[in-house]
Homo-oligomer: A and B are copies of this chain.
């Protein structure tokens, strides 16, 4: 498979799909080593002398910034490329852009792209010593987001097989949900549910190994972890959405609907949150919502992925 080298070690991180439990555990365990006892992310020199290209074809604050911080905490140089301002405007192809950055001796590419499969395409064409990290491609995958979610769940709630997990929202268009479902299946979560209106669920969602609910109140019963999705208003066709606050009334996580889940259910959200759209503002700020802890964990998880890929690349040469 494209993500692995001949020694069957992880070479690129393009999707959670196809990874084994040991791969995920290795990354989560490694991420833990980047925290000091007081919770601060430590500085290491693991990527000293390496250059990370941060290649964002879609705008992002949180993901781009945490990858940049993660790279700097590993002592890598970071080359930020905001592609809407670059020579792709001169008509250069994605492949040629990446090859030029390879020639600049960038070893690690963090790529976000609006097209599903873009990072797979790039990974097929790069030099053997280069690793690609998918930072979100179209509606396809966002593997580091799923990994930081798993890190956060494990940290706060422990073993996955004891946990019932619900993912709520626009599953159909969400690269986050797709990666979360793969990760939860691989880690053996007790039960995985997806909750959303029919228009926002894939047609054969059950084949992904999940139980489908169209009613939030039914779906939340007996759930230990609630993974909210961002309603990507800026990306959706409005026709898919019920009008005038109806989505919030039906699928919003509020103090009333939260009561149906298990006591102290953990609340996860990839951010940025839409207060009063998919989640009640006070719920987003409540102790069981670990949305900001996810951000912190994201730095450590991204450090883990980056350092692992560079190590594996070195071993395979």
Residues of A that sit less than 8 Å from B by CB: 40-41, 43, 49, 51, 59-62, 65-66, 68-69, 72, 77, 79, 81-82, 85-93, 96-97, 99-105, 233-234, 271-275, 292-296, 299
The smallest C-beta distance from A98 to any residue of chain B, in angstroms, reads 11
The smallest C-beta distance from A5 to any residue of chain B, in angstroms, reads 20
Q: Point out the residue from B100, B233, B275, B295 that lies within 8 Å of A292, measured CB to CB.
A: B100
The smallest C-beta distance from A273 to any residue of chain B, in angstroms, reads 7
- B59 & A104 in contact (Cβ 8 Å cutoff): no
Query: A293 and B103 in contact (CB under 8 A), knowing A59-B87, A87-B272, A97-B61?
Result: yes
- B272 & A104 in contact (Cβ 8 Å cutoff): no
The contact sample of 10 A-B pairs, CB cut-off 8 A, is: A65-B79, A65-B104, A66-B104, A69-B77, A87-B272, A90-B234, A91-B272, A92-B273, A104-B299, A105-B299
Query: A87 and B61 in contact (CB under 8 A), knowing A68-B79, A77-B72?
Result: yes
Give the copy number.
3
- A49 & B59 in contact (Cβ 8 Å cutoff): no
Query: A81 and B96 in contact (CB under 8 A), knowing A90-B234, A233-B91, A296-B103?
Result: no
Query: A292 and B103 in contact (CB under 8 A), knowing A90-B234, A233-B91, A272-B91?
Result: yes
- B59 & A89 in contact (Cβ 8 Å cutoff): yes
| B residues less than 8 Å from A90 (CB atoms) | 234, 272
**Closest 3 A/B residue pairs (Cβ):** A103-B295, A61-B86, A92-B272
A296 to B43, CA, bound (A): 29
- A100 & B62 in contact (Cβ 8 Å cutoff): yes
| B residues less than 8 Å from A68 (CB atoms) | 79
The smallest C-beta distance from A130 to any residue of chain B, in angstroms, reads 13
The smallest C-beta distance from A23 to any residue of chain B, in angstroms, reads 26
| B residues less than 8 Å from A275 (CB atoms) | 93, 96
- A273 & B87 in contact (Cβ 8 Å cutoff): no
Which B residue's beta carbon lies closest to that of A297? B103
- B79 & A51 in contact (Cβ 8 Å cutoff): no
Which B residue's beta carbon lies closest to that of A64? B86
- B292 & A99 in contact (Cβ 8 Å cutoff): yes
- B104 & A69 in contact (Cβ 8 Å cutoff): yes
| B residues less than 8 Å from A97 (CB atoms) | 61
The smallest C-beta distance from A77 to any residue of chain B, in angstroms, reads 5
Known: A82-B85, A87-B272, A100-B272. 14 other contacts (CB 8 A): A51-B69, A59-B85, A59-B86, A62-B87, A65-B81, A69-B105, A91-B233, A91-B234, A93-B275, A99-B292, A100-B271, A104-B295, A104-B296, A105-B299
